[in-house]
Amino acid sequence: MAELADLAVSLSFLLGIVVFSEVARRTALYLFPNRNWIIYALESISTFQLCACTHELKLLAEVGGLEPRISLTLTFLISVVYGLSFRGAICNPTGALEQLYLGTLTRRCALTRISCQLIAAEVARRVMPHAWALALSDLHEQHSLTGFTCTNSPVNAPLLQAAAVELGCAFVMHTAGFTVEKVEEKYRVPAIAAVITTLVYAGGHLTGAVFNPALAFSIQFPCPGNSFAEYSFVYWIGPILGMTGSLLLFHEVIPAISGKSTISKHLNSNGLEMKKMK
């Protein structure tokens, strides 16, 4: 179990990442309020926040031995923070592809957002070791002994089963995004955070339950034990198929049966309002 001092330092790290990212977002919006490209800056900043915070949470759980109930509580709380602070950023390539299909994003906007997400994911992966190198806690100092890298594969199941887990998680997540509009607006972010936490509890021991290709690229792909192609199959193909299945169910199958659309094109996969972007 992580020592209280280590937990306190990690919580401070998480708070620092959130504050830094929020200041960066506010500064960008203040300096460039009417620029079309500002959404890409927000996408990059918010994806960096997501990946950097998840790196620290993963370290607490895997190296620090944080109790599952505390880890899940932190997952819920940080997911609420994400939902309240991302300012229209999607932070997930499958979400961008979903919005491209629905017509909310143009092809150029979707591809640019995905590029920003992957670049920010790589930046987070490279920045966090420098933060850990400060050795502000015993946990960070212990992590330095492995070169700030994970030592085992995050895939703890056969590849097909692992991909099915990521597929299922993505399917549930996108389905929640489609149906959350029925929930009162002030409860939408906590509802999505609860879904994320449940998925992490259900599938975390098998794949980490990432269901986000950009996030997986940052926190899972550097780990040994599997090839790039194998990780791509589990953490990229799985979530994309899960998103596609949810999209087809709500956009094609159910409307064909009921005769009416079940998807609001003004909500993204996080259940938050979106505007048409060029």
Q: Would you state the pLDDT for residue 215?
A: 97
Q: How far apart are CA 105 and CA 98, in angstroms?
A: 9
Average pLDDT over residues 63-69: 85
Residue 268 lies in a domain: no
For 259, how many CA atoms within 13 A lie in the half-sphere containing its CB? 0
Quick check: helix, strand or coil at residue 61?
helix
Domains in the chain, number: 1
Query: What end-to-end distance do the CA atoms of the chain give, in Å?
Result: 48
In a domain, 276, yes or no: no
Inter-residue contact 262 to 250 (CB < 8 Å): yes
165-220 per-position pLDDT tens digit: 999 999 999 999 888 877 888 889 999 999 999 999 999 999 999 999 999 999 99
Q: Are 209 and 199 in contact (CB under 8 A)?
A: yes
* Torsions phi, psi for 267 (to 5 deg): -120, 140
Quick check: is 271 in a domain? no
How many Cβ atoms sit within 10 Å of the Cβ of residue 57? 21
In-domain check, residue 96: yes
Give per-residue pLDDT as tens, 111-150: 999 999 999 999 999 999 999 998 888 888 888 877 778 8
Q: Residue count of the chain, please give it.
A: 278
Q: Which residue has the tokens 């420098």?
A: 130
244 in any annotated domain: yes
Q: Which domain holds residue 32?
A: 4-258
How do residues 205-248 score in pLDDT, each as one tens digit?
Answer: 999 999 999 999 999 999 998 999 999 999 999 999 999 999 99
Residue 67: what pLDDT? 86
Task: Confirm whether 219 is domain-assigned.
Answer: yes
Q: Encode pLDDT of 7-20 as tens digits.
A: 899 999 999 999 99
pLDDT computed for residue 270 by the predictor: 54
Burial, 228: exposed, middle or buried (Cβ in 10 Å; 0-12, 13-18, 19+)? exposed
pLDDT tens per residue, range 29-47: 988 888 889 999 999 999 9
CATH number, domain containing residue 119 = 1.20.1080.10
Tell me if 154 is assigned to some domain: yes
Residue 178 belongs to some domain of the structure: yes
Confidence of residue 4 (pLDDT cuts 50, 70, 90): confident
Predicted pLDDT at 256: 81
Closest alpha carbon to 235 in 218, 257, 260, 253 = 218
